[in-house]
Structure 1
Amino acid sequence: MTTSPASVSLLADDVEEDLRASVRRAIERHAPTERVTAIYDGTDEVTAPLWSAFAGLGLPGLLVPESLGGAGATAREAAAVLEELGRAAAPSPFLTSSVVATTALVALGDTEILPALASGEQTAALLVRPTALRHGPATTTAVGLPADVLLVPEGDALYAVRGAATAPVSSLDMTRPLAEVSLGGGERTLVSADAAAAVDRALLTGAGLLAAEQVGVARWALETTVAYLSVRRQFGRVVGGFQALKHRLADLYAEVEQADAAARYAAACLATDDPDAPVAVHVAASFCGEAATHAAEEAIQLHGGLGMTWEHPAHLHLKRAKADELLLGTPEAHRAALAVLVDLPPPVVEPVETPAPER
């Protein structure tokens, strides 16, 4: 099935709205801000309870076919989940296991690993560099650990590795862990000898749906900032009434709405296997990453001193925004990929002249 830009509805339907409400209730119950912040102090009382709640809702198997115990849903429903995760900056293996790894395994017709992923009993992670856009040889850095199964691309082949040794790596966003991986002692099984296209599809889907999470971050930042400036008073006036701040908020609102439209279109194209999906994904990924970071930065600045405190969740969203901006390709990398797809010439990089030292 294919679609055209004119035929794609960017409005959420009843199923997406109900799903979004259920996810938000689960996050509010299991991932309040103070528990998420505690992760940076070494206490994680969020990830496991939230994942259990997600499993109860059937979210780990959202993209898994019904014949394997999943919901057989589409990228649009997965995007709704990720937007809510972005709004809360909540930790979850949903993107890495239920989207990226699952998409690769579904494309390969796997029937061995997917049932355990669909139930939430196990998780998986694709072992690639955090900034990867395409498949390549296995590296030593994995995103989304701990995971029960690592999917390791080697050339055109894809292997499933269990029991690999991992060592945590410090990351800016500690709600999305990184780890150094040693594959030597793991149990290795060949998933497919011809998995290049499936891995590419998984990374493209991951990048497109990551844009939805970035929209969630940006929308939280906008709504929280508007609410704060509507009650904060200075010089006897509500701060939100100052003309300069109105202009900044109006510009930010327009940017968030544009990001939302780009992310929704990318998800719709992925959901229907539209030929326009690569272009839509690179547009969304290049725009939404910068929009989320800008919105989070504006939230911190417009909250004044409050925004700089550890107790306020603005720093959690800025860290998520910056980490997401690098996770599956930088905005610059996505723009370069987009230029190739639409036959634009590569950007001209002017040489930087280094002034001679003064004598």
Structure 2
Amino acid sequence: MKLVLSQEQQELRAAVRDFLRTASPLPKVRDGYDPQVYARLNGELGLSGLIIPEEYGGAGAGLSELAVALEETGAALLPGPFLATAFTALALTLVPDKELMSGIAEGRIAATLDESEVASDGTTASGTLPQVLSGMDADVLVVPARTGDGLVMVAVELAGPGVTRTALETLDLTRGQAKVVLEGAPVRVLGPAPEHGIADRLCVALAAEQLGVMRAALDAIVAYAKVRVAFGRYIGSYQGVKHKLADMHGKLEQAESIVRYAAWAADEAPDELPEAAALAQAYVGRACFEVARDHLLLHGGIGYTWEHDAHLFYKRAKADEVLLGPPRVHRARLAQLLEL
């Protein structure tokens, strides 16, 4: 097991970081999803096809490489359907579909995945999905459907007939959700739904994004502590601030080890993945929120203002913490897996 990034992974990280620094800086994040940035992200870097097998036009990389990219998109608070599309691509690696995977790899299709079960007769589907990640921005929805032959995965064109989408007011201003109602919407059956594996991969991918949010939040408050003067001293020289920053750094280091291990397990040791994935969300989700919260508090009064970026990290961290279920759900699963 290797928890240190390879040379290729470091180069990938640098490329994504440099791209996002110029194409999607934090001031632009407030404007929301920009399809042009998403198109460039895929056209210039091919990120949407990173996890897609080469036979479908993707890069054929592993979850370890996708985690590197997600860490950077998380640090940049990238708006739009990139995480939702990554979730979908991870599911499609277990339920391959040439049309969808090729479209995602080429950047033509923004997709989203929802784990809520709908009813289907094999050609149409009906059901209500209360919170679909990037539901207003995605082109295709992949969802499990109950048919007479059992549980299958189906694809739904979100702009097609029988689909009603309603944008939701969300805590995270940088990434939306939608209520999606299917009423006899045409579907295409992709194949039998996997009994396990999808949820674990989603947990690892989300933890990678959370790691990026943590790192960016800590970097921001460390930089601020070096220039902000209070009572004639830089606030970074005060013991209370130094201890808090050290605690935040410790959480970041632990989170990075957990994410690297979980991504490695997904690629190289699938038997270890369930425990690693549960641990990733049990620890990283809460740690990310705590770091983002403390980074906001240490900014003082300015951190509470609408104009400052601190609240954007705080809201992304809280939204991510509960996106796949609160940490207590993952702690309970981890305990069950470990027979505690």
TM-score (norm 1): 0.86
One-letter code of the match for 1:62? L
Deviation at residue 173 of structure 1 after TM alignment: 0.9
2:173 alignment counterpart: 174
**Identical aligned pairs, as a percentage?**
39
Match of 2:142 among 135, 143, 151: 151
Give the secondary structure class of the aligned counterpart of 1:154. strand
Mapped to 2, the partners of 1:263 and 1:65 lie a distance apart of 22
2:122 alignment counterpart: none
Match of 1:119 among 106, 114, 117: 106
Deviation at residue 203 of structure 1 after TM alignment: 2.2
Note if 1:183 corresponds to 2:178: no
2:193 alignment counterpart: 195
Deviation at residue 176 of structure 1 after TM alignment: 2.0
Deviation at residue 94 of structure 1 after TM alignment: 2.2
Which 4+ stretches in 1 moved above 3 angstroms? Answer: 135-139
One-letter code of the match for 2:62? T
- The equivalences for 1:102-141 within 5 A come to 102-128=89-115, 139-141=128-130
Give the secondary structure class of the aligned counterpart of 2:72. helix
Question: RMSD value over aligned CA atoms?
Answer: 1.6
**Contact 1:308 1:315 (C-alpha < 8 Å) held by counterparts:** yes
2:21 alignment counterpart: 28
One-letter code of the match for 2:67? A
**Contact 2:167 2:179 (C-alpha < 8 Å) held by counterparts:** yes
1:43 alignment counterpart: none
Deviation at residue 185 of structure 1 after TM alignment: 5.1
Match of 1:94 among 62, 82, 95: 82
Deviation at residue 139 of structure 1 after TM alignment: 4.2
Mapped to 1, the partners of 2:184 and 2:16 lie a distance apart of 37
Deviation at residue 88 of structure 1 after TM alignment: 1.4
Deviation at residue 47 of structure 1 after TM alignment: 2.8
2:123 alignment counterpart: none
Match of 2:288 among 287, 292, 295: 292
1:357 alignment counterpart: none
Mapped to 2, the partners of 1:218 and 1:304 lie a distance apart of 18
Mapped to 2, the partners of 1:110 and 1:301 lie a distance apart of 47
Task: Structure 2: give runs of 5+ residues left out of the alignment.
Answer: 120-126
Note if 1:165 corresponds to 2:164: yes
**Contact 1:101 1:202 (C-alpha < 8 Å) held by counterparts:** no
Give the secondary structure class of the aligned counterpart of 2:30. helix
Mapped to 1, the partners of 2:80 and 2:266 lie a distance apart of 22
Mapped to 2, the partners of 1:261 and 1:343 lie a distance apart of 23
Deviation at residue 186 of structure 1 after TM alignment: 2.7
One-letter code of the match for 1:70? G
Q: Deviations over 1:237-266 (max 9, x none)?
A: 111111121111111111111111111111
Mapped to 2, the partners of 1:215 and 1:114 lie a distance apart of 27
Deviation at residue 273 of structure 1 after TM alignment: 4.1
Tell me: CA distance 1:296–1:229, structure 2 relative to 1, closer, same or farther (3 Å): same
Deviation at residue 288 of structure 1 after TM alignment: 0.7
Deviation at residue 175 of structure 1 after TM alignment: 2.1
Give the secondary structure class of the aligned counterpart of 1:10. coil
Mapped to 2, the partners of 1:323 and 1:216 lie a distance apart of 14
Mapped to 1, the partners of 2:287 and 2:189 lie a distance apart of 40
One-letter code of the match for 1:328? L
Task: Structure 1: give runs of 5+ residues left out of the alignment.
Answer: 1-7, 40-45, 130-134, 345-359
